[in-house]
Amino acid sequence: MTTTISINDSHRLLAKQLDMAPRLLLGPGPSNVPPRVLQALSMTTVGHLDPLFLQMMDETQTLLRYAWQTDNPMTISVSGTGSAAMEATLANTVEPGDVVLVGVNGYFGHRLLDMAGRYGADTRKLTKPWGETFSLEELRIGLNCHRPAILALVHAETSTGACQPLVGVGELCREFNCLLLVDTVTSLGGVPLFIDEWGIDLAYSCSQKGLACPPGIAPFTMSPRAVEKLQQRRAKVANWYLDISMLCQYWGNERTYHHTAPINMNYALREALRLVAEEGLAAVWARHQANAELLWQGLADLGLTCHVPKEFRLPTLTTVTIPPGVDGKAVARQLLQEYNLEIGGGLGELAGKVWRIGLMGFNSRRENVILCLSALERVLKNF
């Protein structure tokens, strides 16, 4: 039976004015957005070929290169979330039969494997328990065994809170003539990261974590080595929307239309990156580290332990082991209901075993750490 809504009843479909609770977002992302980024987001929309917008695109590229510490000409914002930029790295460089070796030590290593396989890659993996990282020797053995075209690693594994050391990995990849692809979703804007110095060929990130911008736009960069592989493809990139060989004509001197860019999201990203540059990368990284250490000490004082050893622990995302007998979901729910404070639960193998507490971007502040610890202490007294 088909239900027809009369035009005379249309007023009944009107929803109430949108009103969202003032949450403090201390989970794995998104993070709260600074007022100046929200202000930029609300500015007048112009056309995607307007001279003012084209100038802003150039400025965004310059700011992204600073945040990533790279001179890569092909450094852009992808119109989509971080997963779109993740897919762009693989769509543009993977051809059917290419061996892609992925370091899997958490949830997002598995996602890289899945995406690479969908583009016809011969996928191989190196595995470590969730929360551990790969040593240079382990990576050397893997490269020697599999001889991949691409080695993919997650720098900051959002599911585990572990930070993969990258110094020396780029040199290894050049020794074995492969590209180094790195997930920097939870590290850009919060953790020391040097694309050129570390020899990273492909990297992607997101807007809503360390950059404290709303989700929906994603940083992406390719080294000249990666661009060369793209140019030598035997067939077209299988994903039209993410084809960098076409997108570079929009971001380059040609300014050829490809798609309508999310204008206001680009405004927001530019302002978020400008705030990083204004504070200075060294100061940004130091702030994240200091606030993370304050959190870690406070957790220890509450008798709670972290899942990852301190030397490999992310300052942007901490996984906290849920004590025996404590209902982790109930604790998170109570924090949200009583304190408007969000923390995350575990993913994959760590589901039900950890909480994930994020201190990223605008939210990496001493007062937020103190509030989170105080609220957590009060809630845990009920369990």
pLDDT digits (tens, 9 = 90+) for 17-42: 888 888 999 999 999 999 999 999 99
The residues with which 78 forms a beta bridge, in sequence order, are 218
Give the mean pLDDT of 190-199. 98
Indicate the length of the chain as a whole number.
383
pLDDT reading at 9 higher than 90: no
Angle between helices 82-93 and 244-251 (to 10 degrees): 120
Residue 298 to residue 372: CA distance in whole angstroms: 10
**Could you tell me the CA-to-CA distances from 146 to 101, 140, 167 in Å, in that order?**
7, 10, 21
Q: Write down the pLDDT at residue 6.
A: 60
Q: With bands split at pLDDT 50, 70 and 90, how would you rate the model's confidence at 11?
A: low
Return d(Cα 62, Cα 355) in angstroms, integer: 36
Contacts of 128 (CB under 8 A, 6+ apart): 103, 104, 105, 134, 138
- Has residue 5 got a pLDDT over 70? no
> Residue 355: which region, alpha, beta or left (left: phi > 0; alpha: psi -120 to 50)?
beta
CATH of domain 24-31+280-380: 3.90.1150.10
pLDDT at 10: 58
Fold annotation for 35-277: Aspartate Aminotransferase; domain 2 (3.40.640)
pLDDT attached to residue 382 = 87
Q: Is the confidence at residue 50, as pLDDT, over 90?
A: yes
Mean pLDDT, range 281-301, rounded to an integer:
98
Q: What is the pTM of this model?
A: 0.94
Q: Find residue 151's DSSP bridge partners.
A: 101, 180
Which residue has 């993070």 as its token pair? 31
113 touches 86 (CB < 8 A): no
Q: Which amino acid is at 232?
A: Q
d(CA 99, CA 95): 9
Beta bridge partners of 345: 355
> Contact, 148 vs 126, CB < 8 A?
no
Distances, alpha carbon 212 to alpha carbons 138, 179, 316, 344, in Å:
34, 29, 12, 17
From CA 23, how far away is CA 90, in angstroms rounded? 35
Provide the residue ranges of all domains of the chain, joining segments of one domain with +.
Answer: 24-31+280-380, 35-277
* pLDDT per residue as tens digits for the range 323-353: 999 999 999 999 999 999 999 999 999 999 9
Please give the span between the terminal C-alpha atoms of the chain, in angstroms, as a whole number.
Answer: 50
Average pLDDT, the chain: 95
pLDDT digits (tens, 9 = 90+) for 297-325: 999 999 999 999 999 999 999 999 999 99
At 7, the pLDDT band (50, 70, 90 cuts) reads low
The per-residue pLDDT for range 253-263, each reduced to its tens digit, is: 999 999 999 99
Q: What pLDDT is attached to residue 8?
A: 60
Decide if pLDDT at 209 tops 70: yes
